[in-house]
Each structure stands twice: as structure tokens, then as C-alpha cells.
Amino acid sequence: MYGLLFHIYADKEDWKAALKVLDEAIQDMPRTKHKLLIFKHRIMVHVRLGHSIRMDLQKLKDESEQYLSSMWRRVVVFSNKRTGKISCFQKSIEALEKPESNWQKVDHLIEFAEWLYSNDFPENDVLCLLDWAVDLLLSMKLCVKPRVEEDFKVKKKKLKSKHSQEKQKLEEQKPEKNPEPEDTGASEKEIIPLENQAQIGVQNIDPNLSLADLQDVRQLQTLIEIHTLMAIISSRASSQHKKYCLMAYAYVMCIWQATLATAGSIIKELAKTAPPSPDLLPSSKSTKKSKKKDPKETISHVRVRPKLKENAESMPSTFEEWANYDCPDEIRAIFKTCSDCSLINASNILKPTYSLFYIDLLVKELQALSYNHLTLPVLQLGEIIACDVLNNMSLSDLYHFRIAQVCIELNLISAAEYHERVPGTQFIYDKERAKVRQEIAKLQDEKSEIPEQNIQDSH
């Protein structure tokens, strides 16, 4: 009842009456988890009225840091002053201290940087936040393969043995009486400088980390988005713009390398342990039967993808190979069925439309640098996300046409003709039409319910 009364006053924007209802609810209700929702609503009302929220937030001190951070993030939306928004952003980030909250911290840092950039704050302040997010991502130990750990241990043992041998040689070469070191007059601070330490960011990044060590698709996709955003913020006239674009492109290639290697190893293991299933390895007989069943079906409606090669994990090495590349159905089936952290799937690409937005921005920035040939792997990644994560065939067809356009610019006519043939003549599919009609009907129902509620409230 109290929640219903609150929403009625909130719809009328009568925040003082809504606050009275919430105060009565807090006095009457027992101490249960349902009371948290009342405190949450009261915090938002206090923010709208410009009141202090310290007392209400103290009552939430026993909650998790993720909950407190999300509360500060909601306060940002309802805060009216810019200084208030900045302090709420900072507190939402400072509340997250545990390593388990790093993903949420990265999201808040990116949102804070985007807000600062859209409100014309200094460029250096925005880039510092994004650098902090990059450091957090690189410090995460995600998708670590056991083989990599074993190789690291073996290398560490070898280095220790070499170091001990060199140490023994040096001790043998030393004279019996070691002269005392000369006093050069240098202080300890000059030898070991302790000043100018970083106040933000993280300190536990592995200095030996390379691009080959990054295997997590979610981590790599977030790095692509951050570096693309940094390239846009730094502007095309900046000397750092090219570096940020090439770093984002390098992370795209890391995604391709990790996904193809993982999918290839899974296909090999499936071939050894069990007979090929029809979903992963379609036979030629099934295709012949399907052709006999539908003789009227034109070739333009059938997508003919290249067959799976023996070395499925091999990645195209030249831009001509990228122009002619089309991910085989067997690898796409692995993307849809397996939830490995090194594969392109819905569990790793959590916001596919958001990812496609930054992929399109990266393509524009690379084209502005006249790196049109580098856009081919980026567009191929966008097509995979549109087809196999979003399940949007129309958007997938659009990416094929964009790849064909780049192929024409590079004078790769045969590759352009192939990508133009892939979509066929059907650009809006029946499933997508039905989905759009359902969404339109849902919106119309919601609009029709609003005047009925207003009539009931007037009576």
C-alpha cells in the first residue's frame, strides 16, 4: 500500500507528499528487507528536494559495497547540481574496494568519463579516469589457461637456475678482500626515489604482460571500447589519436586469435571423443535432401558459407584473406553452444548493441586515418556479434554490405561480389517482422493504459 501511494504521488511529482508517505511507512513497518526499498525511495526523494541523505545512507552501511555503489550511481541521476553529481560519481567508485567489484568499478569509471566529456571538462581529467579503467582491466587475472601457468612456472625455474649460476660465477671472480665502496655523497632518496607515486589506478599490473596473454573476450571488448573512446576524446589532431586507434585494433585481433584458437581446439576434441553432430558438422546428404524438398527456393535466399578447413584456428594473415573471409557455420555453432570465456557469445558480450556502437566508431576513426584495410577484421567482428549474439540477420546483412564497400575501395572485386551475394534479396526477415509487430503492439497497449489510469484517478 505504501509503495502504491508513493508511486501515485511520484507520478504527480508531488515529492513532499511522497516523502510523508515514506516517513509513515518507516515508522509503521517492521525491520525487514522490504524496508530497504522504502529507504531507497526516500533517498531519491531527498535528492530531488535538495535535502541531505547522510542519515539514510548510514542505515544502509550493512549492505554490500555493490549495493552502496549502485545507490550512489542512482543518486547521480536525480541530483540537480554538477558538483553533487561529481561527488556522487566519486563515492560510487570509492565504495568498490574488493577485487570482485572490479567490473562494476570499470563501468562506473567509463560512465564518469563519458559524463565529464559531455559536460566539457578538461581532456586530461577524462583520460586519467579511462587510464585507471584500463589498469583495472589489465590487472584482472581472467581466463587463465592451465598450460600458460605451467609454462610460466617452467620459465621461472629456468630463470632462477640461470640467475644462481651467474651469481656463483661472480662470486668466484671476486677478490678475497673486497674494498669498501667509496662515499659519493649521494643520499638514499637520490638512489631510491620514493616521490611521485601514483595516487589513482592499480599497482599490481604484470610488467611482462603481452597481448598474447589476454584471452578473455569480455576484457578485450571493454578495452576496445575504452581505447576507441580515448581516441575520440583526444581528437584526430592529437598525436595520441593514432596510438589509441591502433591499440583498439590490436585488441580486435586478440579477440579473433583467442576465439578461433579456442573454437578450433573444441572442434578437434569433439571429433576425437564423439561422432560429428549434425549441428556442428552438417553432412552433404542433408543439404541434398533440403534442396530436393524446396526446389522453388532461389539461390539468393540460401547462405553458402565456406567449408571448415583442417586448421580452423588459423587466422587470416593479409587483408586480402580478411576480405574473402566468412566465419564457417561450425565455428558459429561453437559460439552459440559453448560458454567459454575465450569465445564470442552472449555471456561475454553483455551489451551487444553498445559494443556494435563502439565498433562503428572505431571503423570511422580508422577510415579517417586512411587505414581502410584495417577495418575489415573490425567489421567482421561486428557481423559475428550481429548474427550470433544479437540474432539480427538484417544487421548482419548490413555488415556484409559494408565489408563489400571496403573491398571495392581496395579494388578487391571478387571479395566484394561474394559479400554482396551473401545477404540475397530478402532484407527484412519474417522473425524480425513478427518481433517488431509485437513491440509495436506492446507500446500501443501501454499508451492505452495511461489514459484509463488517469480517468480512474480523477474519479
The yes-or-no verdict on residue 148 having pLDDT over 70 is: no
Q: What is the pLDDT of residue 293?
A: 43
* Residue 68 domain flag: no
- Report yes or no on whether pTM surpasses 0.85: no
Which has more confidence, 104 or 303? 104
302-315: average pLDDT? 62
- The runs of H, that is alpha helices, within 59-173 are 65-78, 82-94, 102-118, 123-139, 146-173
pLDDT in tens, 119-135: 999 999 999 999 999 99
pLDDT in tens, 42-101: 877 777 777 777 777 777 777 888 888 888 888 888 888 888 889 889 989 998 988 889
Highest mean pLDDT among 83-92, 219-228, 292-301: 219-228
* Residue 21 domain flag: no
Which has more confidence, 311 or 262? 262
User: SS3 letters for 300-353?
Assistant: HHCCCCCCCCCCCCCCCCCHHHHHCCCCCHHHHHHHHHCCCCCCCCCCCCCCHH
The yes-or-no verdict on residue 32 having pLDDT over 50 is: yes
Return the axis-axis angle of helices 375-384 and 393-409, rounded to nearest 10°: 170
Q: Can you list the pairs that 84-87 forms with residues at least 24 positions away whose Cβ atoms lie under 8 Å?
A: 85/115
Range of the domain at 365: 239-272+313-446
* Residue 2 domain flag: no
Q: Give 97: exposed, middle or buried? Use CB within 10 Å, 0-12, 13-18, 19+.
A: exposed
In angstroms, the Cα distances linking 121 to 76, 91, 216, 279, 447 are 17, 19, 33, 52, 39
* Residue 305 domain flag: no
Q: Which residues of 181-219 are buried (b: 16+ CB within 10 A; e: fewer)?
A: eeeeeeeeeeeeeeeeeeeeebeeeeeeeeeebbbbbbb
Q: Give 62: exposed, middle or buried? Use CB within 10 Å, 0-12, 13-18, 19+.
A: exposed
Q: What is the pLDDT of residue 305?
A: 60
Angle CA(126)–CA(130)–CA(132) in degrees, nearest 5? Answer: 115
Q: Dihedral of CA 126/129/133/138: which sign?
A: positive
* Residue 34 domain flag: no
The yes-or-no verdict on residue 23 having pLDDT over 90 is: no
241-253: average pLDDT? 96
Distance CA 73, CA 27 (A): 27
pLDDT in tens, 172-216: 554 444 444 444 454 444 444 444 444 455 656 667 778 888 899
Which has more confidence, 420 or 311? 420
Which has more confidence, 275 or 223? 223
CB atoms within 10 A of CB 412: 22
Q: What is the pLDDT of residue 219?
A: 95
Spatial contact of 126 and 238, defined as CB atoms under 8 Å apart: no
Range with the poorest average pLDDT among 65-79, 173-187, 230-244, 383-397: 173-187
3-state DSSP percent of the chain in helix, strand and coil, to 5:
70, 0, 30
The yes-or-no verdict on residue 118 having pLDDT over 50 is: yes
* Residue 85 domain flag: no
pLDDT > 70: percent of the chain: 71
The yes-or-no verdict on residue 291 having pLDDT over 60 is: no
Spatial contact of 109 and 125, defined as CB atoms under 8 Å apart: no
**296: Cα separation from own chain's centroid:** 43
Number of alpha carbons in the 13 Å side-chain half-sphere of residue 352: 18
Question: What pLDDT band is residue 274 in, cutting at 50, 70 and 90?
Answer: low
Count, in order, helices (H) and strands (E) of the chain: 20, 0
* Residue 397 domain flag: yes
Average pLDDT, rounded, for the chain: 78
Question: What pLDDT band is residue 229 in, cutting at 50, 70 and 90?
Answer: very high
Which has more confidence, 206 or 161? 206
Q: What is the pLDDT of residue 180?
A: 46
Task: Name, in order, each residue with C-beta under 8 angstroms of 82's C-beta and a sequence gap of 6 or more.
Answer: 119
> How many structural domains are present in the chain?
1
Q: What is the pLDDT of residue 388?
A: 93
The yes-or-no verdict on residue 283 having pLDDT over 60 is: no
Enter the C-alpha cell of residue 335.
Answer: 559460439
Spatial contact of 404 and 421, defined as CB atoms under 8 Å apart: no
Which has more confidence, 414 or 78? 414
Highest mean pLDDT among 49-53, 229-233, 298-302: 229-233
Enter the C-alpha cell of residue 142.
Answer: 581472467
Range with the poorest average pLDDT among 91-100, 210-219, 291-300, 335-344: 291-300
Range with the poorest average pLDDT among 239-243, 247-251, 344-348, 447-451: 447-451
